[in-house]
Structure 1
């Protein structure tokens, strides 16, 4: 997730109609690495668990501790590094991924692996707070939206191609190779940033994001509540999807199932991007219903491949546009306090990821894998009720402001 922070320097004015494509693709690659580092363990859970000699629920906490690292350090580290040159800060964050993924690949100790994942989460917190603003500053004002779209394309690419490819690679030659491959890509990216991404000054001294004040704005609290519970529900299932697929007799097809999920996410992102300015409320309700339908199919204890792929498709169609929907909703509701609201959303997003990893592990150990989609269904009830109830502020029936 990203949050936007104020900066002291205006955007760099490129010639009309032109974007610095190489620099934006470098940022998109950074987003790809951040997203893939976060989600890759979900597709390799059984292999990592066997190699580290811990249970799959314990291995699932590698997703949790990553989110904890981001949630605990994103805001204080972003404030502490506000005056740094932007390229230096970006390279530092990317280097953090290289170190963390290398240690993860080489570690045979569970505690060391968890520490490495925490470090990766810290690097992610710095990166997410930086990337959106960096992309906008690379473009002239009338092309800033397009620049941000190019940079953020790394998220759906990671979901649709990166996670299935990493899962396939990990299955074929070992999960450690998948993480070392990430390290190699990260090292190449550091050089790309050095050669092809312009530098910018940091924020002026005293610049602050008034987070707590944003909670008093009508509509912000409902969106933040939906974010917390929605992401918790999603992570409950996603962190342990490989284990669930094993239970459903599809353990050997984890990479293909994730590919279907990712492709559906891409379609969802396109639809949401097309209609969000006029249909934010309807799209949010539809996303909840689609994910509920997918979870209901996952909850059927029958070893039927068709049901599994249908469930993954519905899940992806519902989830792909959720980050865009929630960021837009909180930005519209926040108004003058939008920066603080966005910062709160990012923090709660990662708190929910951590909670989902813990709650999913408890359900897995006590009730079995089939309880995961059922738990997701239960959590979607307050999400849907809140979205429907927040028709005046938060998720209004009519458009309020620009998307």
Structure 2
């Protein structure tokens, strides 16, 4: 079994459960069955969290004009969300891990829904920024739960695939959510995007109550102190790679619209759609190989992102090169969240993964925040052409710190 394979551990004398839980919370009759209703509910929750975070990326130009702020300031709405997730994920997850999982997830979705509703109605940039911070805190708690929740719903041999299904919401958000939000903004205004997302989150909260199995929180005797999780050698390399990769990715992705605008292509909505669509390929491949060839897949993904950034830096004004580069970048990036989350769950076991995943969420969002901030500074000071070069340096740093995982 590779280090990226997930495994479930239990305290001495405690038997492992006979199989995954059904939507009613009972074990299913077949250990090979996947609880699709529950997993797709998690997929939709992940979609909601990602789209809440990334929606300003597709609305950057219109929000900038309507709120009377710079393009970089709208990019900082993504940074602010991510910073709040960084600061809140670990302490809030540690505080809430004793409680049953379903009520916590419902609370996360309600907060996201209300924050998106306020953003849709706000004419004030400070108010919009404030509700983005609150949404980020809720999103950080949500991200600490998704992978472990999915893993607890299935037997050990299906945990990698269950995590891939749950985290496919990331792919759907990039493939359809951000482009759809961009198109909706072009048709009826950017506020409709936030209003639609608010309704989705609140409807999903009601659906979770009805369809998602519940699991108990961690008993006091099983809780690992946060400091012991942070220093685990198997996790530190994953955290370091995550940070550098997300710094590079977000520095470029947040400012896709102005980058595409300077080329002869000029259609940012289509480019974002192409990027998102190709992430579907990446998450599909990750679901197939996450338990067998993690190191090879990880190296290939990092290499593909680096090549895409190099091509964008050299030939980003040429429309065919622009599109092909976004195709390669999207396919590579689509595989990465599944690989990273499976690594974290595999190191800790699904029953104790929430704190480790919250640390990973903090690192992930620190990368998003730092990348959006660094990209905004580079955009204002050195111009949009500097973005792929900044991203390339950071992706190379990620490759240098990639975890030394063993193939199965």
TM range (shorter): 0.7 to 0.9
Cα distance in 1 between the residues matched to 2:170 and 2:325: 21
1:160 aligns with 2:175: yes
Higher relative contact order (CA 8 A, sep 6+): 2
- Equivalent residue, structure 2, for 1:261: 275
Is the 1:7–1:202 Cα contact (8 Å) retained in structure 2? no
Tell me the TM-score normalized by structure 2: 0.86
Report the equivalent of 2:320: 306
Measure, in 2, the Cα distance between the counterparts of 1:178 and 1:344.
30
Q: Which residue of 2 aligns with 1:223?
A: 238
Cα separation, partners in 2 of 1:223 and 1:152, compared to 1, 3 Å: closer
Taking the aligned partners of 1:144 and 1:219, their CA distance within structure 2 comes to 19
The separation in 1 between residues aligned to 2:359 and 2:311, in whole angstroms, is: 33
Q: Which residue of 2 aligns with 1:32?
A: 47
Distance 1:383 1:190, change over 3 A: closer
Aligned length: 390
Q: CA deviation at 1:202?
A: 2.7
Gaps of 5+ in 1: 388-393
Task: Give the root-mean-square deviation of aligned CA atoms.
Answer: 2.9
Aligned-pair CA distance for 1:61: 0.5
Q: Does 1:108 align with 2:123?
A: yes
Q: Is the 8 A contact 2:81 2:135 kept in 1?
A: yes
Aligned residue in 1 for 2:109: 94
Quote the offset at 1:68 in angstroms.
0.9
Q: Is structure 2 residue 336 aligned with structure 1 residue 322?
A: yes
Matched, 1:395 2:401: no
Establish whether residue 283 from structure 1 lines up as the match of residue 297 from structure 2: yes
Cα 1:383–1:134 change in 2 (3 A) is: closer
Structure 2 spans left out of the alignment, 5+ residues = 1-5, 22-26
CA distance in 1, matches of 2:236, 2:147: 23
TM-score, normalised to structure 1, is 0.87
Task: Give the aligned partner of residue 134 of structure 2.
Answer: 119
In the TM superposition, what is the alpha-carbon distance from 1:215 to its structure 2 partner? 4.8
Distance (whole Å) between structure 2 residues aligned to residue 56 and residue 353 of structure 1? 17
Change (3 A) 1:6 1:166: farther
Once the two structures are TM-superposed, the CA of residue 290 in structure 1 deviates from its matched residue by 1.2
Return 140-149 or 330-339, whichever deviates more: 330-339
Counterparts of 2:7 and 2:133, CA distance in 1: 23
Match of 1:391? none
Aligned counterpart in structure 1 of residue 166 of structure 2, from 151, 159, 166: 151
Provide the residue aligned with 2:24 in structure 1.
none
